[in-house]
Amino acid sequence: MRLIDTHCHLDFDSYDGLRDDIVREAVEAGVTRILNPGTDLARSRAAVDLAARYPGVYAAVAIHPNSTAGWSDEWIETLRVLAAQPKVVAIGEIGLDYHWDDSPKQTQWHAFEAQLALAAALELPVIIHNRDASSDVLDILARWVPTLPLALRDRPGVLHSFSAPQAAAERGLSLGFYLGFTGPVTFKNADDLRHIAARVPDDRILVETDGPFLTPHLYRGRRPNRPAYVRLIAERLAALRTVSDETFAAQTSANAEHLFRLPPEPDFPAG
């Protein structure tokens, strides 16, 4: 079973001193490619550096909504330069977060829309963060999608770590977005989320870890999440959708390759 973890923060401090082992462990688990999204300028640079270091790692660059409090429009030009680096395949993660009070809503909206405009200009898909902000996120995306160039019309981006209600899933899918599922789909109390995941079209579903966060049920509370654990998410979703593990892995990998324009699998040694 060959898998792609489409969202893992390998640059985070939780992985310091462990990255070579974690990448090697991922390869041994059949995870041949990992997408590392940025959350601020420094972490976007780190994501680019890790993509240069590891053959199977790719990067996205952006300012996370919780990092937008000090937003400057000059950051867009920095992101534009970073996005031109090899192996940057998306703008993300961007969006809105109303759960935490780290940045005013108006600042989050401005940063979100500015980065969406950058993604459209660069013809790169987006990785969307949404926490307790579904209506505003989807309203903004509904205004953005009709402006997209032809190259992005069928692959505008992914609603990352999807956890919103069914209506939000349906609206996101109608806009052409993929839905990414993480560790919570394995949690005992996640029946509503599993109900949604079971009904996502085959060509619009992705698997993610969001490491070091959201560790799947088997290892929850015991260690930081890591790309190898995307296998646990994929196996749970395959069973839910009554397909073989191999079929589901092939489908989600093909979806990730299409969305992010990933090249064929690399020879993927660590370090």
Distances 49 to 58, 157, 271 between C-alpha atoms, Å: 10, 23, 12
What total of structural domains would you count in the chain?
A: 1
Does residue 117 lie in a domain region?
Answer: yes
- Give me the domain span that covers residue 57: 3-260
Does residue 270 lie in a domain region?
Answer: no
Position 153 confidence tier, pLDDT thresholds 50, 70, 90:
very high
* Nearest one of 120, 102, 162, 118 to 138, comparing CA atoms: 162
Cβ atoms 56, 32 nearer than 8 A: yes
Amino acid 270: pLDDT: 44
Amino acid 266: pLDDT: 64
Kindly report the CATH number assigned to the domain that includes residue 209. Answer: 3.20.20.140
Does residue 271 lie in a domain region?
Answer: no
Amino acid 271: pLDDT: 44
Residue with tokens 């961007």: 94
Q: Is the pLDDT of residue 263 over 90?
A: no
3-state secondary structure of 4: strand
What digits encode the pLDDT tens for the residues 28-87?
A: 999 999 999 999 999 999 999 999 999 999 999 999 999 999 999 999 999 999 999 999
What digits encode the pLDDT tens for the residues 166-191?
A: 999 999 999 999 999 999 999 999 99
Query: Model-level pTM greater than 0.75?
Result: yes
Does residue 35 lie in a domain region?
Answer: yes
Does residue 106 lie in a domain region?
Answer: yes
Share above pLDDT 70 across residues of the chain, in percent, rounded to a whole number: 98
Q: Is the pLDDT of residue 267 over 70?
A: no
Does residue 267 lie in a domain region?
Answer: no
Does residue 240 lie in a domain region?
Answer: yes
Does residue 268 lie in a domain region?
Answer: no
pLDDT top residue among 221 and 268: 221
